[in-house]
Amino acid sequence: MAGHAARGRGGGRPTLEEVAARAGVGRGTVSRVINGSPRVSAATRTAVEAAVAELGYVPNTAARALAANRTDAIALVVPEPETRFFAEPYFSDVLRGVGAQLSETEMQLLLIFAGNDQRRQRLAQYLAAHRVDGVLLVSVHADDPLPDLLSQLEIPAVISGRRCAEEPLPSVDSDNFAGACAAVDHLLARGRTAIATITGRLDVYGAQRRLDGYRAALRDAGRPVDERLIAPGDFTEEGGRRAMRELLAACPEVDAVFAGSDVMAAGARQALREAGRRIPDDVALVGFDDSAIARHMDPPLTSVRQPIEEMGRAMIDLLLAEIADDRPAAVRRLERRQLVLPTELVERDSS
């Protein structure tokens, strides 16, 4: 019986038209169901899926992609040098989440670095040729032209970490503001009085929000914000080391530090040890990300956990929905799909 059901009218593979006839819907509706479009009712989706199962229909991936002007490929674009990508656990965790979610589809993933002007120009030409169905953007700075280019080309895209409060692209972010507040509240509860922060690059919106959270937590506790206790960093270990040295020189009485990333916290720890400061006895230390670095530091680092793998998974879900949505790009942009995932403070011995 199954063998007969798996053959079409001509004795070959069942066709899309035969699935449509069996389900009592149009060919386009079947195509939308197979491509995961959200613009299909639950009842229609059930009918189509039943017809697919009954006939044993198997989509012809290559033909479907060609007919729909699809490549069945998406690009994960990192506008950073490879050295930073491989040095920071954040990127590998995002990639792990993206890969895990994408493995449940037929889509291929391309990893593209665009850390300088030459690579950006080459990427722009590649994208203009529509060689991918969609783009994931990770670690985008405020002045990066890539998001606007994607909008002009009407290529579906999702950004990890908004560029501003009114980000026009669909985005997935963690609650950077609340995470920073939790870190400072924790240090205040430990009786610390001179709490410093090492920021990330402030052309990154997430770094701005972490600094905003630091300031807000101090104000809410009735503490003045001492600008000498705010040192700029750049999300690198060397940047954390340099910023910590600046803080010790400007304000030797510092007794706690909230670093905007675990990598910078590792650099700060080195500077504190060079200065003979004990952690946490003399200076309490808190990071952000809750990466493997936090768990392996000595002492283990208290850190704000952002669900990075979950963010990667959510980015794929959003992007696939964008790709399947056949409405005009201008209409899709009106919805501004923005997802903010909660953060959590993980307490360890460094604080």
Question: Is-above-0.95 flag for pTM?
Answer: no
Q: How many helices (H) and strands (E) does the chain have?
A: 16, 12
The pLDDT-based confidence of 331 (bands split at 50, 70, 90) is low
Q: Are 156 and 133 in contact (CB under 8 A)?
A: yes
Cβ neighbours for 218, distance < 8 A, ≥ 6 positions apart: 184, 195, 224, 225
Query: What whole-number distance in Å separates Cα of residue 314 and Cα of residue 259?
Result: 26
Q: Which pLDDT does position 2 carry in this prediction?
A: 40
CB atoms closer than 10 angstroms to residue 54: 15
The predicted pLDDT at position 345 comes to 98
Which one has a higher pLDDT value, 90 or 28?
Answer: 90
pLDDT tens-digit readout, 52-90? 888 887 765 544 544 456 778 899 999 888 888 888 888
Question: Do 102 and 309 meet the contact criterion of CB atoms below 8 Å apart?
Answer: no
Torsions phi, psi for 27 (to 5 deg): -60, -40
Residues 266, 213: Cα–Cα separation, whole Å = 21
pLDDT at 164 over 60: yes
Query: Whole-angstrom Cα distance, residue 128 to residue 105?
Result: 24
Q: Are 317 and 101 spatial neighbours (Cβ–Cβ below 8 Å)?
A: yes
Predicted pLDDT of residue 240:
98
pLDDT at 336 over 70: no
Region 241-264: mean pLDDT is 97
Q: Rounded to whole angstroms, how far apart are CA atoms 290 and 268?
A: 16
Q: What is the pLDDT of residue 79?
A: 86
Q: How far is CA 143 from CA 11, 132, 148, in A?
A: 58, 24, 10
* Whole-angstrom distance, CA of residue 200 vs CA of residue 206: 8
Distance CA 78, CA 91 (A): 9
